[in-house]
A and B are shown apart, each in its own frame.
Chain A
């Protein structure tokens, strides 16, 4: 291979580039990014960065050593097409990057409401989003967050710490229902209450009030929540429209095998845009987890280069974390509709505990910790024992 194009310049794209060099690729690497910013870390955008505790400089992912990657960066140049005939990535300025290998790492974007939106309505995914939201979250502002998922809950947590009045609207009966189940969702609902954030569950949005500037959020039951700022936190969708018609299999993202290989030879996909087979789940799953974007590229790059890299087993156990109201929430493994949750350490009432999710046979398949980092780490590794032999 002479040239490899990495499409996407966030955590997965940067990590893929590092992995290419770590695994001995000495050819040309071109990294394409739709944002003008050099790679930066997104998790702090809803937390420390929004709170003003860390700077843009602190968010940078690249180190001085990354200069040695000798990659060519095309930042602010979205890819518009993949021509699988000669494996060329086409950019919006017309440049064609003909490559022997392509790493798809275009990530996901925040979903938004399908309406004309007045001023004061935000989503949060990018550095520019975070700058704009931060400017509006001043003391005494009234914020309504639509969606009590991870992003929505973290923003609510950060905002209340800034002296903002916060309401959170959630359609489901408890937050994080799908990820954590009813019981633990109720615990997360309780976290909001600890700092005086008003959580409205089972509540759906009817409309945004205000023509030029948003002034309130009206719910389906007729209630109206006054708002100076609204954040829409209703999930993300993969950035793969540019691949339509390319011949790359798409289904809620780019379809890949467990290694990240797509149906097109020489093309792999990693990170938030990849709907990859997961050995731990025995099924495909698109994951928007930071750890996945960090760990998946080494495997996919090895497959692209014909290498033999095998990751540590626990890398295959899905893992995410969230910081809310001063608590560190960690989850690994999986929870299904048939899982049962059991508190094995600490107590729920003190918001300091470890919960095991067991499958129908009673075997652990997931672990949730709140402020229990040490024992959580052990369980996360033990869960790797569920992986099929010879994965």
Chain B
């Protein structure tokens, strides 16, 4: 588990970046915390710098949108999903449980053939 910080320090609509095996972005979307890989699958950009709207984040460079709940891109230009990670809030502290099986996760999402 990776300690992100105090929940109170991440206001609604804000995000922070923490380091797992890769950089991970943690978002507070209307009081619910979500974690996804920080690097956009389209081109090198940090999703924690992106624009949060409902349960989606828009990449700050090229406007690719990802669903924070599934990691799936909701439109071009991204073609591949980002990994999602479990977030645990315990006693006011936010933790991320990094998803380990990279390959399996990505293959599973792609297999559903979502546009």
Using CB atoms and an 8 Å cutoff, list the residues of chain A in contact with chain B: 15, 18, 41, 44, 48, 61, 63-65, 68, 290-291, 294-295, 321, 328, 330, 373-374, 376-378, 381
Contacts and interface: CB of A to CB of B under 8 A. Distances in A.
B109 interface: no
B39 to A, nearest CB: 13
Given A41-B77, A374-B49, A377-B51, A65 B114 contact: yes
B76 A294 contact: yes
Contacts of A65: 113-115
Interface stretch (B4-12, B30-38, B57-65, B86-94): B57-65
B18 interface: no
A94 to B, nearest CB: 34
Contact of B50 (A41, A290, A295, A377): A377
Given A374-B49, A377-B49, A377-B51, A291 B76 contact: no
Interface residues of B, number: 17
Contact of A330 (B46, B51, B61, B76): B61
B45 A373 contact: yes
A214 to B, nearest CB: 33
17 contacts: A41-B77, A61-B76, A61-B77, A63-B79, A65-B113, A290-B62, A291-B62, A321-B61, A328-B45, A373-B45, A373-B60, A373-B61, A376-B60, A377-B49, A377-B58, A377-B60, A378-B51
Contact of A15 (B58, B62, B76): B76
Interface in B34-75: 43, 45-46, 49-51, 58, 60-63
Interface of B: 43, 45-46, 49-51, 58, 60-63, 76-77, 79, 113-115
Given A290-B62, A373-B61, A377-B58, 14 more contacts: A15-B76, A41-B77, A63-B79, A63-B115, A68-B115, A294-B76, A294-B77, A295-B63, A328-B45, A328-B61, A373-B46, A377-B49, A377-B50, A378-B51
A64 B80 CA distance: 11
Give the dominant DSSP class at A's interface: helix
Contacts of A295: 63
Contact of B60 (A18, A68, A374): A374
A291 B63 contact: yes
A373 B61 CA distance: 7
A14 B43 CA distance: 19
Nearest to B64: A294
A46 to B, nearest CB: 13
B51 A64 contact: no
Given A63-B79, A373-B61, A381 B113 contact: no
B76 to A, nearest CB: 6
Contacts of B58: 377
A48 B42 CA distance: 12
| Residue of A41, A64, A291, A377 with most chain B CB atoms under a 10 A cut-off | A377
A196 to B, nearest CB: 24
A291 B60 CA distance: 12
B7 to A, nearest CB: 21
A291 to B, nearest CB: 7
Contacts of B62: 290-291, 321
Nearest to B46: A373
Nearest to B51: A377
A41 B114 CA distance: 21
| Residue of B45, B50, B60, B62 with most chain A CB atoms under a 10 A cut-off | B60
Contacts of B79: 63
A376 B63 CA distance: 13
Give the top 4 A-B pairs by smallest Cβ distance, nearest first: A373-B60, A374-B49, A373-B49, A65-B115
